[in-house]
């Protein structure tokens, strides 16, 4: 099979490329390299309709994996235009190019952010979609566009709603790196490595057992396995759908720090700060649908394992 991975130079996309190549597929990576790694691939912005048309004319793809989006919630509030331009408008350009080229299958990186403040947890796919920031809205808008494109053009898609992607390639070849880094685990491990003086805990006054926010951390390799299963599902004639991806278990910010202390054996200094705007107290996935429909079974569901792989990467690649 030949697949196009858009955003294949980023954190999750690069792990996906490795997995697809490892299972014997042909992969073309398209990325604008605004973030992520310099990998071999086509430098292309999905807002560029002509470049997309040439790419689709040159290759026959069975499916497209779309990872190319901006992901910072806070930034999306300050710069909504950037988010609607890239995450929505450029995605529309990509979808139109796919329709034009007759490529019928898409795996789309969506987010738990489509749900907004949860009314209940664990969150299932039927939970109301009331995103509370432009990032979440851009993802939910694309999901709705995909429904319309299926009805009108027969474009089949699986939208995968990630909870908190974390961890790194178990072989230690790839890992998580964002510029600037805003994600909890890499920041904690940078503090463990001495690359920052401390980790700031945003809020200890939440209505949770230890007062810090609870998230459902899911290993990046497990996320990628779900994508592989999702593409098989579509290629076997599955109908378009949206699925949560999480482990169904929540860990607090303090528990993640404690796990990092255990795994690294380092003293990690914390400092307390007020709540970060827009952080719901608890986000935990109900992923039964992904398991039932795709046969997905996370392999690295333990928090210590996620932290261990991330730490191996952090130590191997001491970024400055
Ligand atoms: N946190 C800290 N200190 C930090 C960074 C984060 O205490 O320095 C806390 C946050 O307040 C939050 C938790 O750690 O409670 C996780 O924060 P992240 O920034 O790592 O992740 P988010 O849960 O905010 O966001 C992630 C993705 C988003 C996605 C969202 C949906 O990064 O793209 O999950 O669940 F929208």
Mutate to test the pocket of ligand 1, among 276, 281, 282, 287 (most ligand atoms within 8 A of CB): 276
The answer to whether 214 touches 284, Cβ cutoff 8 Å, is yes
β-strand pairing of 63-66 with 105-111:
parallel
**Euclidean distance between CA atoms 245 and 222, whole angstroms:** 9
Number of structural domains (the chain) is 2
The answer to whether 273 touches 202, Cβ cutoff 8 Å, is yes
Which residue's CA lies nearest to atom 16 of ligand 1?
184
Show contacts of 26-31: CB within 8 Å, 24+ apart: 26/1, 26/2, 27/2, 27/3, 28/2, 28/3, 28/4, 28/55, 28/59, 28/61, 29/5, 30/4, 30/5, 30/6, 30/55, 30/68, 31/6, 31/7, 31/68
Q: Is 135 a catalytic residue?
A: yes
Backbone angles phi and psi of 4, in degrees to 5:
-100, 130
Give the torsion through C-alpha atoms of 187, 200, 33, 246, to 10 deg. Answer: 70
Atom index in ligand 1 nearest the CA of residue 71 equals 33
Instruction: Say whether both 9 and 133 belong to one domain.
Output: yes
Atom index in ligand 1 nearest the CA of residue 283 equals 35
Which residue's CA lies nearest to atom 18 of ligand 1?
183
- Residue 291 inside a domain? The answer is no
Query: Among 162-166, 243-247, 277-281, 316-320, whose mean pLDDT is lowest?
Result: 316-320
Which listed residue (11, 83, 115, 135) is catalytic?
Answer: 135
**Euclidean distance between CA atoms 12 and 17, whole angstroms:** 9
- Residue 195 inside a domain? The answer is yes
Predicted confidence at residue 319, as pLDDT, reads 57
133 C-alpha to ligand 1 centroid (Å): 14
The residues lining ligand 1, judged by C-beta closer than 6 Å to any ligand atom, are 71, 73, 111-113, 135, 163-164, 182-184, 187, 199-202, 213, 215, 253, 276, 279, 283
- Residue 292 inside a domain? The answer is no
pLDDT digits (tens, 9 = 90+) for 189-241: 999 999 999 999 999 999 999 999 999 999 999 999 999 999 999 999 999 99
184 C-alpha to ligand 1 centroid (Å): 6
- Residue 199 inside a domain? The answer is yes
Instruction: Say whether both 98 and 29 belong to one domain.
Output: yes
User: Is residue 12's pLDDT more than 60?
Assistant: yes
10 C-alpha to ligand 1 centroid (Å): 18
Which residue's CA lies nearest to atom 26 of ligand 1?
164
DSSP type of residue 171: T
Residues paired with residue 241 on neighbouring β-strands, in sequence order: 158
Predicted confidence at residue 318, as pLDDT, reads 59
Instruction: Say whether both 77 and 223 belong to one domain.
Output: yes
Instruction: Say whether both 103 and 10 belong to one domain.
Output: yes
Q: Starting at the edge strand that comes first in sequence, how are the strands of the sheet with 282-283 ordered? A: 251-252, 214-215, 282-283
* Radius of gyration over every alpha carbon of the chain, rounded to an integer in angstroms: 19
- Residue 135 inside a domain? The answer is yes
Average pLDDT, the chain: 95
Find all residues with CB under 8 Å of 26, minimum gap 6, and list them: 1, 2, 3
**Euclidean distance between CA atoms 63 and 1, whole angstroms:** 9
Which residue's CA lies nearest to atom 21 of ligand 1?
183
**What is the domain extent for residue 232?**
2-165+217-245
Predicted confidence at residue 69, as pLDDT, reads 96
pLDDT digits (tens, 9 = 90+) for 112-166: 999 999 999 999 999 999 999 999 999 999 999 999 999 999 999 999 999 999 9
185 C-alpha to ligand 1 centroid (Å): 9
Distance of CA 250 to the CA centre of its chain: 17
44 C-alpha to ligand 1 centroid (Å): 29
Instruction: Say whether both 114 and 192 belong to one domain.
Output: no
22, 44, 133, 269 from 162: Cα distances, Å: 23, 25, 16, 29
Q: How confident is the model at residue 320 (pLDDT cuts 50, 70, 90)?
A: very low
Instruction: Say whether both 117 and 263 belong to one domain.
Output: no
Which residue's CA lies nearest to atom 33 of ligand 1?
71
């Amino acid at each position: 099979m030949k697949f196009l991975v858009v955003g294949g130079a980023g954190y999750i996309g690069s792990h996906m490329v490795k997995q697809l190549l490892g299972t014997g597929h042909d992969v073309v990576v398209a990325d604008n390299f605004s973030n992520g790694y310099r990998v071999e691939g086509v430098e292309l912005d999905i807002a560029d309709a002509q470049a997309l048309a040439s790419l689709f004319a040159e290759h026959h793809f069975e499916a497209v994996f779309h990872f190319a989006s901006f992901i910072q919630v806070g930034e999306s509030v300050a710069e909504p235009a950037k988010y609607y331009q890239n995450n929505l408008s450029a995605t529309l350009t990509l979808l139109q190019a796919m329709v034009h080229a007759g490529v019928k299958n898409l795996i789309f990186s969506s987010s738990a952010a489509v749900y907004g403040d949860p009314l209940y947890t664990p969150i299932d796919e039927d939970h109301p979609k009331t995103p509370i920031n432009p990032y979440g809205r851009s993802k939910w808008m694309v999901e709705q566009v995909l429904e319309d494109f299926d009805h009108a053009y027969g474009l089949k898609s699986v939208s995968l709603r990630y909870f908190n992607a974390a961890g790194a390639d178990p072989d230690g070849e790839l890992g998580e790196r964002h510029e600037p880094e805003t994600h909890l685990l890499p920041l904690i491990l940078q503090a463990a490595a001495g690359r920052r003086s401390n980790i700031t805990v945003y809020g200890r006054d939440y209505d949770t057992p230890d007062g810090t926010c609870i998230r459902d951390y899911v290993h990046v390799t497990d996320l990628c396995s779900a994508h592989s299963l999702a593409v098989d599902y579509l290629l076997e004639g599955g109908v378009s759908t949206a699925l949560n991806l999480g482990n169904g278990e929540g860990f607090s910010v303090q528990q993640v720090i404690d796990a990092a202390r255990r795994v690294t054996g380092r003293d990690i200094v914390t400092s307390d700060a007020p709540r970060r705007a827009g952080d719901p107290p608890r986000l935990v996935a109900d992923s039964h649908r992904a398991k039932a429909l795709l046969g997905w079974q996370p392999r690295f569901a333990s928090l210590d394992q996620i932290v261990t792989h991330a730490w191996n990467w952090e130590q191997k690649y001491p970024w400055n």
